[in-house]
Structure 1
Amino acid sequence: MKVLVTGGYGFIGSFVAERFFKEGYQVYIIDNLVSGNAENIDFPHKFYKINVESKKCEEVFKSNKFDVVVHLAAQVDVTTSMKSPVLDTRSNILGLSNILDLSTKYAVGKFIFASSAAVYGMNENTPLVEEESCEPLSPYGMNKWIGEMYCRKWNELYDLQTLCFRFSNVYGPRQGTVGEGGVVSIFIERMLDNQGITVYGDGHQTRDFIYVEDLADAVYRSVESDASGVMNLSSNTENSVNRLIEVLQTIQPIKSVQYREAKQGDIFRSSLDNSKIKRQLDWIPMYTLEEGLEKTYRWFADHKVKEVPKPKKPENFLLAYFKKLLPYLENALAFIVVIFLTVYVHNGKLYDLDDFDFSFFYIILMGIMYGSRQSIPAVFLSSIFYVSFGLMQGRDLISLLYDSESLAQIAVYVFVGIAIGYTVDRKNRAVNSYASQVQAIEERYEFLNEIFNDTRKVKEELQSQIINSSDSFGKIYTITKELDTLEPENIYSSAVGVLESIMKSDAISIYSVNKHGSFLRLSAKSKKDNFELPKSLRIADQPRIGQVIESKEVFINHELESNVAMLMAPIVDNGQVVALVSVHDMQYENFSLYHQNLFKVAIELITAALSKAYRFWSATMNERYVEGMTVLKEEAFGKVLETKRATKERLHIEYGLLMLDVNFIHQEEKLNLIQRSLRESDYLGLGKSGQLLALLANSSKGDTEIVRKRLAEQGVDSIICEEEVMYG
């Protein structure tokens, strides 16, 4: 499974990306690193440094088949949105529409959009439900609201499954000092710098603070559900700023608290109702404000770096100014040379150059070197010099201005200056354009080559995962091949091994359910030392188990109830619960939605295998049982006994064997008496030598002795025997 997280190097994005990685997803990140930090991510992933509104995003989508897109990239500062609404719109609207369009074009399974509580504006009807009216106060809030409309329309028009989360005030490690919820990081940073904190207002204003890991958990859970539309993502707890300060004081004393006049437009009360998300995603926030602030403070304290002032490099303004001034200085110098040469030739020093126009050459030179930027000033200076030189020779200004030869000379200057300047400018523009195109092509080539190499690498990793990964679908298929048998007893024992491998747990049990649904009998379990379970359970004494059997649905122990399995699932055949599978213990990191889904897949495979085995068993009853009796024939009984032997060796599940008088087969009353004394999980059958045997499932020697005595009390004699002797 592949997930694309835009803004994945940011505060929230890094936690969301990390959660998906822990759940087995391949993580891809788009971030322009304006506010994100690559150091926030320390696990394998693929990164593209581009803006979300860039056309390059299509290459990312084209080369990767994303199952999920989580769009977090945005301009998140309300103040910035007020100062530069165009910048906010470019990122929050154009970027969103681009990613939405690509998600539709390349068939993304689910699109998650990060909206904000800012859409509600000054509405203080707390806690706010999703149906409350939206009247945002800032361009940031407006664009988030418009973003929700985009997502809704994309769902209606293009059938793209979209879900918009209205985040309350998020806080936690890696948070910067801007954006919503930044008050926590600002306060903590000032505390660590041993500075006082400033509160705008009286501190009674409230906010709905949610810890970032709780938010990441909700985002992941939403992907595993069919939820869509708009949801508040909050703690549903209204905490004042003064309460926030009180909690921080318990972690580290604050030097001082200064109260100032509240900022105009600040919302006094803010809290979001989270009933909808709790109901639809089976999610609750796990961190209290105290726990979240403690973790946040410790992270900031651990990552506090003493800033060493870097020596500033002196900015060479003179050099930069000189470079800008250089063309004009060269122009002036060339003009001085023209004046000198013209006067020098006129005074008779160089008779061979008497007819040479140095100004004409000067204009051409400036045009070739700098284009019209210097050729036009050269035309102006040359024209001024031509008129001035004529005046120096005794001509009057009026005659010069009306002299056709003089006007023609100046016109030639203008024409040459403009023509040369325009030609050179056009050539320079073409060269620059070509250079830009070459650079763009090179960048595109590098970008596509990088994507190609990444795609090939992912392909190789995926191939390796299918072959080697312990929880890949290829491995699951290989493991569940063990269930490919038509003997129910074999399926029970094999299922334990399957679940141990998939769930990475050594505490698996399978109980069979009697026909009346009142008792459970242990059929198979993990053979871990000290993993002891009751051999039978009365369902009425186990309310949680009773609920699972009644509902016929998978149970997940979200509340971590004691003495209750982490996962339980019923095996249903023809509408009747025939067995209960339980995972009693597992590593916390494996108690994830990913492994919960694996458990459900495995249960479906086990159920399918058992259903097939039961159908086969029913279809072959005449071949298995002695006609008119519930006594297995020799071959059928031998297979059951062989399964019990293998289960004993593999899982240490014991069984007992009683030898009865074979003549009881012909005594209906005695045979019925024996059947009533046995359990549904026990078997009657014929041995190799024709003797009548009773196989007692999951029974120790002591249990077998109890059954023998119970039969003896009813006039049925039996002998406890060893399998090797009686059925070797």
Structure 2
Amino acid sequence: MKVLVTGGYGFIGSHVAERFHKEGYEVFIIDDLSSGKLNNVNFKHRGYQLSVEDQKCEEIFSSNRFDAVVHLAAQVNVATSVENPRQDAKSNVLGLINMLSLASKYSAKKFIFASSAAVYGTSEDVPLPESAPCNPISPYGMSKWVGETYCQKWRDLYGLETLCFRFSNVYGPRQNSIGEGGVISIFADRIIAGQNIHIHGDGEQTRDFIYVEDIADAIYRASYSQLMGVYNLSTQTETSVNSLIRLFEELHGTEPDLIYQGARTGDIHRSVLNNENIKKDLDWTPMYGLRQGLTKTYEWFRQQHSASLEITHQAPNPTSRTRYFIQVFKPYLENLLAFILISWLTLSQWDMAYSFIDIKMFYITIIGIMYGNRQSIMAVALSVCLLTYQRLLNGHELVSMLYDTDFFFQIAIYLCIGLVVGYAVERKNGKIASQDIEIKELGEKYEFLNGVYREVREVKNELQQRIMNSGDSFGKIHSITKELDSLEPDEIFVSTVNVIESIMNTRAVSIYIANSNRDYLRLVAHSMNIGEETAKSLKVEEHDYVGRVFLGDQIYVNRELKPGVPLMVAPVQRRGETVAIIALDDIPFENFSLYYQNLFKITVELVSSSLSRAFSYVEATESLRYVEDSSILTNEVFQSILRNKRMAKEKLNINYSLLVQSGHVDSLRDFSHKLKGLLRETDYIGLGAANELMILLSNTGPEDVARILERFAERNIFLKILEEEVTYG
């Protein structure tokens, strides 16, 4: 089974992911690492460093069909939500909408959303039940309240099973000082480091502290339950800050220095959540008291503090600074060196020999090509300065140069070359940079998709290996289901028991067929070792699981292990209607999984196909199966059904009784109509070898026959039981 935990590298998320892993789930994590840490999760999993609002998340959902999605990723800092509500809404609202949409689109079985006690606001009418009015005082609380509404609407609009948990103050290992429950982590960190503890107010303000592993336990158990809606998740225990300090003093052994400060504006004095509903509906209760949870939390912080003291801080690397300096100033240095060379050539005898060549234009062009607009303008400025100095050396007056058109024309040429070349190069560099960014983005997308592809390939190879090596291979299934190749429904029912027993590794299979009114089910076949306590008929409205399977056309799994209810029940369908159900009991624990649930579904679909073919054959040959103008089976057909009943008796110990008519019957048509209301859908009237009228009672033992004969006698129908069966055919 697969679970997706968003924010799975964070404080609560890592504990939730770890719990699912211990329960045998395949764990997937989406986390942008804004507050989470990769080293929080050290077991085998698949992780993706993405924001929950990122569109790439769809690739993860489309490649993996999740049984549960636990949405814990969020911006959890109340102060940050006040300072930047836009960012808070982006993560907590848009991210949630993206996850809900994908969970619905790709048919996740359960969606669990982490809400908060912050939705209640400043209400101190404790303990607060779920029905208490919500009046959040921060954007963080508002985003959580809105999130609950989205979850409810997704359940109403799209049928997604959503569950919202309002956490009280969560604490435990791996927590940092960010978030509503950070007071314990702050106190632990400061006490261990020997620092002062600052307390806002008088310290008598109370909170409802819950240990993180209790949160993980509730989320795991809720993931496979029928629970939906909104629930508080808390201990319903009120603890003051001063009491918390005293517990820390006992753990640390020394009294910390306390500094009491003024109470913060808007701070809630009392906060306790009522947890009666979750305890009743989920049969859950917190396992850790505050002292026990605090001890484990303190030990974790103490170990982290000891480890941090052993880490030596590395000195800054001068190589990186040198590299940065060279990268920034290299173009300017090369420009100056090139200008010095040009100046020497211009003022030397070489320039006089080649006076028809203005090498300053080549200098401007080359620098512009190499470094772009900024350096080309600098080259133009330096060239103008060199040209001015050159003219002064040749005896020109500075004032006269202001009226020299040739001088200004030459400057204009320099400037034109610098601007054109620089602009062209800048444009080219801009396109290259844009293409580099696009290539990088495509490369990242390729790496992401390639990673998803590799994971899918790994899963595919693993499944192929499992199929090849396991006893549930499709080859075996095909071989076993060849037994279903029959055109007689009764023979298929008997064969189905063998098929299900072999594939599902169970010896407790029961098959019930529906009557014409679809309100009763009759037992038609069962495993050899099923005793007399198995019901021979079921009324649909009296059994909840029967109604859910029969009317809802879905496989029922008894995850709550309700007594007297099969572990798995699946519908057998024909033309879109349920005609029978197959019930399994006594399933090995390791087979009580989604894999075997799907295996059961596939096998029952094969049974449905075989039965549809058999029923169609019976309908097509109806005129040949019955004596004309009656519901009495011909001798040949009746013998075939009787052989199937004998086979069921030998293989599965399914009883049947054979009755024969005493005396002569004037009209077969009248006799069949007379019997019609007295027989069940699973009973048969037919002609024996000597054309005597016989009645075959399915799943009926000798102890039931006397009562049946009396009921017939009341209608002036006299029958007797055939004690020693005659071999027919």
Q: TM-score, normalised by structure 1?
A: 0.62
Distance 2:160 2:704 in 1: 63
Shift of 1:371: 3.9
Partner of 2:128: 127
Partner of 2:115: 116
1:289 aligns with 2:299: no
Q: Please point out which of 315, 328, 331 is paired with 2:317.
A: 315
Partner of 2:429: 431
AA at the equivalent of 1:116: S
Change (3 A) 1:606 1:382: closer
Aligned to 1:211, what secondary structure does the other structure show? helix
AA at the equivalent of 1:206: D
Alpha carbons 1:15, 1:216 under 8 Å: kept:
no
Change (3 A) 1:475 1:359: same
Shift of 1:373: 3.6
Please give the residue correspondences for 1:190-589 in structure 2 after superposition, counting only pairs within 5 Å.
201-202=203-204, 204-206=206-208, 211-212=215-216, 214-215=218-219, 218=222, 231-235=229-233, 237-240=235-238, 265-267=266-268, 284-285=281-282, 287-290=284-287, 309=311, 312=314, 314-316=316-318, 318-320=321-323, 322-323=325-326, 324-331=328-335, 345=348, 352=353, 367-377=368-378, 400-401=398-399, 403-404=401-402, 409=407, 416=414, 419-420=417-418, 423-424=421-422, 426-438=424-436, 440-441=438-439, 443-444=441-442, 447=445, 451=449, 489-490=490-491, 492-497=493-498, 499-500=500-501, 505-510=506-511, 524-527=525-528, 534=533, 557=558, 559-562=560-563, 565-567=566-568, 582-588=583-589
Partner of 1:673: none
What do you get for the CA RMSD once the two structures are aligned? Answer: 7.4
AA at the equivalent of 1:204: T
- Unmatched 5+ residue regions in structure 1? 668-677
Distance 1:188 1:621 in 2: 84
Shift of 1:205: 0.9
1:645 aligns with 2:643: no
Q: How many residues align?
A: 682
Change (3 A) 1:509 1:332: same
Aligned to 2:429, what secondary structure does the other structure show? helix
AA at the equivalent of 1:212: A
Shift of 1:404: 1.9
Distance 2:67 2:493 in 1: 35
Please give the residue correspondences for 1:604-615 in structure 2 after superposition, counting only pairs within 5 Å.
none
Aligned to 1:122, what secondary structure does the other structure show? coil
Q: How many percent of aligned residue pairs carry the same amino acid?
A: 35
Change (3 A) 1:601 1:221: farther
Alpha carbons 1:661, 1:692 under 8 Å: kept:
yes
AA at the equivalent of 1:290: M
CA deviation digits over 1:484-532, x for unaligned, max 9? 87756445434544654676644333578999x9x9997543346xx65
Alpha carbons 1:115, 1:147 under 8 Å: kept:
no
Alpha carbons 1:129, 1:232 under 8 Å: kept:
yes
Distance 2:623 2:195 in 1: 88
Change (3 A) 1:52 1:29: same
Change (3 A) 1:182 1:133: closer
Alpha carbons 1:4, 1:68 under 8 Å: kept:
yes
Alpha carbons 2:191, 2:252 under 8 Å: kept:
no
Change (3 A) 1:448 1:183: same
Distance 1:312 1:602 in 2: 63
Distance 1:480 1:582 in 2: 18
Aligned to 1:420, what secondary structure does the other structure show? helix
Shift of 1:331: 4.8
Aligned to 1:437, what secondary structure does the other structure show? helix
Alpha carbons 1:363, 1:417 under 8 Å: kept:
no
Distance 1:197 1:497 in 2: 74
Shift of 1:437: 1.1
Alpha carbons 1:196, 1:256 under 8 Å: kept:
no
Change (3 A) 1:65 1:257: same
Shift of 1:535: 6.1
1:168 aligns with 2:134: no
Aligned to 1:534, what secondary structure does the other structure show? coil
Alpha carbons 2:81, 2:138 under 8 Å: kept:
no
Please give the residue correspondences for 1:557-706 in structure 2 after superposition, counting only pairs within 5 Å.
557=558, 559-562=560-563, 565-567=566-568, 582-588=583-589, 591=592, 634-650=635-651, 652-653=652-653, 655=655, 688=689
Aligned to 1:509, what secondary structure does the other structure show? strand
Alpha carbons 1:32, 1:49 under 8 Å: kept:
yes
CA deviation digits over 1:129-182, x for unaligned, max 9? 4783443413x44445566777899999xx766777544238699965476576
Distance 1:60 1:513 in 2: 43
CA deviation digits over 1:281-300, x for unaligned, max 9? x9944653216999999999
- Unmatched 5+ residue regions in structure 2? 667-678
Alpha carbons 2:208, 2:236 under 8 Å: kept:
yes
AA at the equivalent of 1:238: Q
Aligned to 1:290, what secondary structure does the other structure show? coil
Alpha carbons 2:50, 2:57 under 8 Å: kept:
yes
Alpha carbons 1:232, 1:272 under 8 Å: kept:
no
Distance 2:264 2:119 in 1: 19
AA at the equivalent of 1:122: T
Alpha carbons 1:653, 1:698 under 8 Å: kept:
no
CA deviation digits over 1:303-361, x for unaligned, max 9? 99967747737411651454134444445555666777778x5xx99975899988777
Shift of 1:440: 1.8
Partner of 2:675: none
Aligned to 1:238, what secondary structure does the other structure show? coil
Alpha carbons 2:625, 2:634 under 8 Å: kept:
yes
Change (3 A) 1:255 1:449: same
Change (3 A) 1:205 1:662: closer
Distance 1:30 1:38 in 2: 11
Alpha carbons 2:251, 2:295 under 8 Å: kept:
no
Shift of 1:420: 1.7
CA deviation digits over 1:668-693, x for unaligned, max 9? xxxxxxxxxx9998888776477898
Aligned to 1:639, what secondary structure does the other structure show? helix
Distance 2:521 2:352 in 1: 126
